[in-house]
Amino acid sequence: MKRNSRLSSTLHILVHMAEKPEQALTSEQLATFIHTNPVVVRRTIAGLRDAGIVTSSRGHGGGWLLGRAPEKISLAEISVALGETLLPFSTEPESPGCLVEQAVIAVLDDFRIAAERLLAEKLRSITLADLTADFRRRFDLIGVSSHAV
Amino acid sequence: MKRNSRLSSTLHILVHMAEKPEQALTSEQLATFIHTNPVVVRRTIAGLRDAGIVTSSRGHGGGWLLGRAPEKISLAEISVALGETLLPFSTEPESPGCLVEQAVIAVLDDFRIAAERLLAEKLRSITLADLTADFRRRFDLIGVSSHAV
DNA sequence: TCAATCGTAACTAAGTAAGTTACATGAAAC
DNA sequence: GTTTCATGTAACTTACTTAGTTACGATTGA
């Protein structure tokens, strides 16, 4: 798994889980999807379990399942559960007392708050079901084209 | 200078430059504002020079000046000139050929494009002049309050 | 009881960005 | 023209972050 690809890797995993709703998938299986190893998977999606997006069970036949229907899982929740930040820049003071810095941070924080609200809104409107629908569309297309050939 | 604070540090520097429009400031001076060293400053704002946001001159009396009026310098330009990314997640394929990944990336890229457009729009509407205005407001407030005490 | 599976701590490796040193280049002052 | 002050930039070092790995305990079903 590459750096900065935690969101897309996790979505990848979740779509696979959505496609096998009744079958618990092991960390091992999930890891192969995103070319990494089981411990990294567990660590990465541990937050999703805490958020109820997935459930895990131990022992024989154990593994991971979606915690609720794909329609009820938004990218916003997933992003938060992963602990991802939506904006990559910091606004922490480094020169307390400097009025120039205070002005910069104030303006930047206003921007950040407005921007994060906008992004979160957009992410709330996209669900895991949208992703699986897109996947199935692609899958059917391939089916048709390979049938034609 | 902390990690991920290139944007705010650069803005800090630019406001100082805007406050002394006719005086070339050296990398050394700029470095003290953001608690780092001159080479880091040069490296960081080299892109701003290429973009015409600042100019630099060498030799005795040399240093850095704004390339144009603060009203004509937007945060969007600055962000681009710094080479900053607006969104922190990657959507590069890691499993070429996997339809699930393709669906995830397609949806995520749609989101990214829309989000970047929105953010860029917001950043275009904020200029360096807005930052200096905010700074002066704070400066005057302090002046009044310390006068009152 | 055994095998499969997650949970998690501890360590290693790789990548990124800031910090530092060194020196070449250019411009002004004398 | 020589000296001084400044940027430009390459090369290296250091610090930090995060993925990868190993190890092992806890839990569950056969």
Asked if A112 and A37 touch (Cβ cutoff 8 Å), the reply is no
For tokens 């916003």, what's the residue?
A76
Q: How confident is the model at residue B149 (pLDDT cuts 50, 70, 90)?
A: very low
Does residue B1 fall inside a structural domain?
no
The whole-number Å distance from B82's CA to D14's C1' is: 23
A43 within a domain of the structure (yes/no): yes
User: Across the interface, do A8 and B108 touch by the CB < 8 Å criterion?
Assistant: yes
Residue A69 belongs to domain with CATH number: 1.10.10.10
Q: Is residue A1 part of a domain?
A: no
- The secondary structure element, H or E, covering residue A55 is strand A54-57
The answer to whether the Cβ–Cβ distance between B88 and A91 falls below 8 Å is: no
User: Is residue A66 classed as helix, strand or coil in its secondary structure?
Assistant: strand
Substitution target from B100, B101, B139 for chain A, most A beta carbons within 10 A: B100
Confidence label for B52 from pLDDT (cuts 50, 70 and 90):
very high
Q: E strand or H helix at A63, and its extent? A: strand A63-66
pLDDT at site A143: 75
The answer to whether the Cβ–Cβ distance between A130 and B119 falls below 8 Å is no
Gap between the Cα atoms of B79 and B47, Å rounded: 10
Answer yes or no: is A82 within a domain.
yes
Q: How many CA atoms lie within 13 A of A86 on its CB side?
A: 25
Q: What is the DSSP string of A101-138?
A: HHHHHHHHHHHHHHHHHHHHHHHHT-BHHHHHHHHHHH
- Crossing angle of the two packed helices A128-148 and B99-124, in degrees rounded to 10: 130
pLDDT, one tens digit per residue, over B77-136 is 999 999 999 999 999 999 988 999 999 999 999 999 999 999 999 999 999 999 999 999
Task: Please give the distance of CA A25 from its chain centroid, rounded to a whole number.
Answer: 17
pLDDT of residue A149: 44
Amino acid at B10: T
How far is residue A12's CA from residue A19's CA, in Å, rounded to a whole number? 11
The answer to whether residue B142 sits within a structural domain is yes
Among A106, A107, A113, A105, which Cα is nearest to A87's? A113
Instruction: Please count the structural domains in chain B.
Output: 1
Find, among A100, A7, A116, A55, the residue nearest to B34 by Cα. A100
Which domain does B132 fall in, by range? 6-148
Q: Which of B41, B79, B9 is nearest to A91 (CA)?
A: B9
Set of chain B residues whose Cβ sits within 8 Å of the Cβ of A88: 4, 84-88
Q: Best mutation site among A79, A102, A107 for testing chain B: the one with the most B CBs within 10 Å?
A: A107
| pLDDT tens, residue order, chain A (149 aa) | 998 999 999 999 999 999 999 999 999 999 999 999 999 999 999 999 999 999 999 999 999 999 999 999 999 999 999 999 999 999 999 998 899 999 999 999 999 999 999 999 999 999 999 999 999 999 999 877 655 54
Strand C: which residues 28-67 of B lie within 7 A (CB)? Answer: 35-37, 39-40, 43-44, 57-62
User: How far, in Å, CA of A99 to CA of B127, rounded?
Assistant: 18
- Does residue B28 belong to any structural domain of this protein? yes
Q: Which residue of A has its CA nearest to B12?
A: A101
Query: ∠A42-B86-A124 over CA atoms, to 5°?
Result: 60
